[in-house]
Amino acid sequence: MRRTANINLGGRTYEVRRLTIGQLREIGIGTTTAADLLAKSTAAEREAAAYDAMIATIRAALARDTPEITAQSILEIETDFSELRAAHRAVLSLAGLLPVGEAGAASSDGATSSAS
């Protein structure tokens, strides 16, 4: 079972410890809310919801050890979509929310995880 994940955003590496139940709850709620919105909205709203879900997931994962990270501060990080997507996928993998085999895709996009 994974114990940590390293996510890279804007030239900085963040180590994410195994998630708490509270963090898992927050990630799950954000994913469910985004899924509901994706089913009901315009293309622009779906795109915004997808970004909001990724940002909420990353923020929830970083909240315990990096409480100064907010959704707004994540929005201000200079990065590209590949790095953002890799960070999101690494957190989902750590949370057990990606099917087996998907974790490798997260790692190949620049996110890494390790057992400890």
Most confident of 25-34, 47-56, 101-110: 47-56
Two tokens, residue 26: 């927050």
HEC string of 20-85 equals CHHHHHHHHHHHHHHHHHHHHCCHHHHHHHHHHHHHHHHHHHHCCCCCCCCHHHHHCCCCCHHHHH
Give me 78's structure tokens: 């200079």
Please check whether residue 19 is in contact with residue 95, taking contact to mean a CB–CB distance below 8 angstroms. Answer: yes
CA Rg, the chain, in Å? 13
Tell me the pTM.
Answer: 0.78
Each residue's pLDDT tens digit, 51-108? 988 999 999 999 999 999 999 999 999 999 999 999 999 999 999 988 755 554 444 3
User: What's the DSSP call for residue 17?
Assistant: E
